[in-house]
């Protein structure tokens, strides 16, 4: 039997490894998705004997998995795990890793849960020790750059050691169950495709709102802001899944090629239209949903001045036959009134109504978090006897993924990384981001940031616990629309 690939995790003592990656690996082991003999190697600069590292892992997994933690299952999982201390600045240390991989003969998946600043050192050392050869592959976390130029430089570094088909760039949103369901919703249901164009759809809104502020990650966040932290990756990916043409198949290349076409069709935002097409905001003191007082952004990041946006809204236009004239409104912010990720597809109103009472346009509401559900808002007769014209009311056809899973006994909400790790082990790249897709997204974002600078567009203040600055409403009202509430 062929030896399954070894999962090598750089940054094995970091926050992401503790909260997401090792718990995901534990669940994959618990449910039988890790093959017999599949090994896991944790790696960071600190020195640990294997047994000490396994014990260090135990509370991480116990805390994250909660009621699903089982001592016997952990013990069998821990048998898969070993540890190799590697300092990326010391290329000689990679000889230890080579030895752990049977003198480099074992197939490996290298997961870089590290700062991009050491990607180059890791890739050079893997190359030098013969560990970047096929079929070995590399998985990298965002951020892939701060702008297009830095993204290209990082991608060039990765390409020096691993071919594009062996480079897996993670956007954890693509591992979420409901995000994957967007493909099934669109392309497995005959009723939607004839309506999925400018002839039937009036506008699309994508919202990712958070109740937390930037505290705890101020240094990173103040350098990136909402547009780089959320729009460039998560929101752009949701936009592509909603707008792309039907792919020829579910293969990685077929799906990713259609997403690239969407990105290349985005109308550039320039200094001439940036004030009409975007809104920036930064939260100030206020109160959260529980009435607790909140600090302003400057206090959260311990700065005296910052023009970093914590809220951004964009009116994006896709210049192709399917979507010409349909605004895609994107908004994301911190310290908002509620935590949610939601996509709202608003259909065009009826060309003529035979009813005296107004018929509201139909809306498809796709909620990704906190509860995963899909609702179709339709018009229905109001119950009761009729005197004169038929009265109407709005009702929802509701498909709750969370309720369905509970009904069949699948109560555990999966960690998005479970699917992505499994796909990397199985060489399925369909949920990962390819280079030209990523660079096209940065090109669009760079145009906005450059236009902000040229027009001196500083963020507008908004109170914590509110849904962004009041000026955001002008973005939709220019087209006769309003934000979905």
Quick: pLDDT tens for 73-102: 999 999 999 999 999 889 899 999 999 999
Mean pLDDT on 456-468: 95
Per-residue pLDDT tens over the stretch 114-168: 988 899 999 999 999 999 999 999 999 887 899 999 999 999 999 999 999 999 9
Residue among 269, 278, 283 at smallest CA distance from 333: 283
pLDDT of res. 68: 93
Taking the C-alpha atoms of residue 124 and residue 106, their distance in angstroms, rounded to an integer, is 19
Q: Which pLDDT does position 180 carry in this prediction?
A: 85
Q: Which segment of 178-192, 259-273, 369-383 scores lowest on mean pLDDT?
A: 369-383
Q: For residue 342, is pLDDT > 60?
A: yes
Q: Model confidence at 1, in pLDDT bands (50, 70, 90)?
A: low
Q: How confident is the model at residue 409 (pLDDT cuts 50, 70, 90)?
A: low
pLDDT at residue 28 greater than cutoff 70: yes
At residue 4, the pLDDT reads: 95
Whole-number Å distance between alpha carbons of 424 and 431: 9
Mean pLDDT value of segment 403-409: 66
Does the pLDDT value for residue 351 go beyond 90? Answer: no
Highest mean pLDDT among 179-193, 301-315, 352-366, 394-408: 301-315
Q: Which active-site residues does the annotation give?
A: 234
Q: Does 43 score more than 70 pLDDT?
A: yes
User: Which range among 41-55, 108-122, 178-192, 273-287 shows the weakest confidence by mean pLDDT?
Assistant: 178-192
335 pLDDT higher than 70: yes
- Closest by CA to 39, choosing from 135, 136, 108, is 108
In the predicted model, is pLDDT for residue 319 greater than 90?
Answer: yes
Question: What pTM was estimated for this model as a whole?
Answer: 0.91
Cα separation, 288 vs 309, in Å, equals 19
Query: What is the reported pLDDT for 357?
Result: 73
435 is written with which tokens?
């280079």
Written as six digits, the tokens of 462 are 């908004």
Q: What mean pLDDT, rounded, does the chain reach?
A: 92
Instruction: Quote the pLDDT of residue 379.
Output: 77
Read off the pLDDT band of 396 (50, 70, 90).
confident
- Please classify residue 126 by burial: count the beta carbons closer than 10 Å to its beta carbon, then call 0-12 exposed, 13-18 middle and 19+ buried: buried
Across the range 462-479, mean pLDDT stands at 94
Which pLDDT score, from 0 to 100, does residue 408 have? Answer: 66
What is the layout of strands, in order, in the sheet containing 40-43? 81-83, 40-43, 6-10, 108-112, 137-140, 167-169
Whether the Cβ atoms of residue 137 and residue 109 lie closer than 8 Å to each other = yes
pLDDT band for position 404 (cuts 50, 70, 90): low
Q: What is the pLDDT at residue 116?
A: 87
Please tell me the distance from the alpha carbon of residue 339 to that of residue 371, in angstroms, as a whole number: 10
């Amino acid at each position: 039997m062929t030896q399954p690939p070894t999962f090598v995790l750089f940054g094995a003592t970091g926050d992401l490894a503790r909260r997401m990656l090792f718990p995901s690996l534990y669940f994959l082991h618990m449910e039988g998705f890790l093959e017999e003999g599949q090994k896991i190697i944790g790696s960071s600069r600190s020195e640990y004997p294997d047994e000490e590292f396994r014990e260090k892992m135990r509370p991480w997994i116990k805390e994250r998995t909660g009621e699903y933690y089982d001592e016997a299952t952990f013990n069998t999982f821990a048998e898969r795990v070993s540890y190799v201390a590697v300092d990326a600045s010391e290329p000689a240390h990679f000889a230890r890793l080579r030895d752990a991989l049977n003198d480099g003969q074992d197939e490996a998946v290298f997961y870089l849960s590290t700062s991009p600043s050491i990607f180059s050192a890791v890739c050079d050392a893997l190359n030098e020790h013969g560990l970047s050869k096929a079929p070995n592959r590399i998985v990298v976390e965002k951020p892939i750059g701060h702008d297009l130029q830095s993204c290209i430089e990082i991608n060039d570094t990765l390409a020096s050691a691993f071919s594009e088909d062996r480079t897996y760039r993670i956007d954890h949103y693509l591992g979420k169950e409901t995000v994957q369901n967007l493909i099934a919703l669109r392309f497995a249901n005959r009723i939607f495709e004839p309506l999925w164009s400018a002839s039937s759809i009036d506008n699309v809104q994508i919202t990712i709102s958070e109740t937390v502020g930037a505290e705890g990650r101020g240094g990173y966040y103040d350098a990136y802001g909402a547009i780089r932290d959320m729009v460039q990756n998560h929101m752009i990916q949701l936009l592509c899944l909603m707008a792309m043409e039907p792919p020829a198949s579910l293969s990685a290349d077929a799906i990713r090629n259609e997403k690239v076409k969407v990105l290349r069709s985005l109308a550039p935002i320039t200094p001439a239209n940036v004030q009409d097409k975007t809104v920036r905001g930064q939260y100030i003191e206020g109160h959260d949903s529980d009435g607790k007082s909140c600090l302003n952004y400057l206090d959260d990041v311990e700065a005296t001045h910052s023009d970093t946006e914590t809220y951004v809204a964009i009116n994006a236009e896709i210049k192709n036959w399917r979507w010409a004239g349909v605004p895609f409104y994107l908004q994301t912010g911190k310290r908002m009134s509620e935590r949610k990720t939601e996509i709202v597809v608003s259909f065009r109103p009826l060309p003529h109504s035979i009813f005296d009472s107004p018929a509201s346009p139909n809306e498809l509401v796709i909620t990704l978090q906190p509860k995963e559900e899909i609702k179709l808002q339709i018009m229905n007769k109001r119950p009761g006897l009729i005197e004169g014209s038929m009265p109407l009311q709005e009702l929802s056809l509701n498909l709750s993924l969370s309720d369905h899973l509970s009904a069949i006994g699948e109560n555990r909400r999966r960690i998005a990384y479970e699917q992505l790790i499994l796909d990397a082990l199985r060489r399925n790249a369909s949920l990962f981001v390819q280079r030209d897709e990523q660079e096209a997204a940065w090109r669009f974002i760079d145009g906005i940031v450059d236009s902000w600078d040229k027009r001196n567009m500083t963020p507008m203040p908004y109170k914590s616990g509110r849904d962004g600055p009041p000026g955001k409403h002008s973005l939709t009202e220019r087209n006769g629309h309003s934000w979905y509430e």
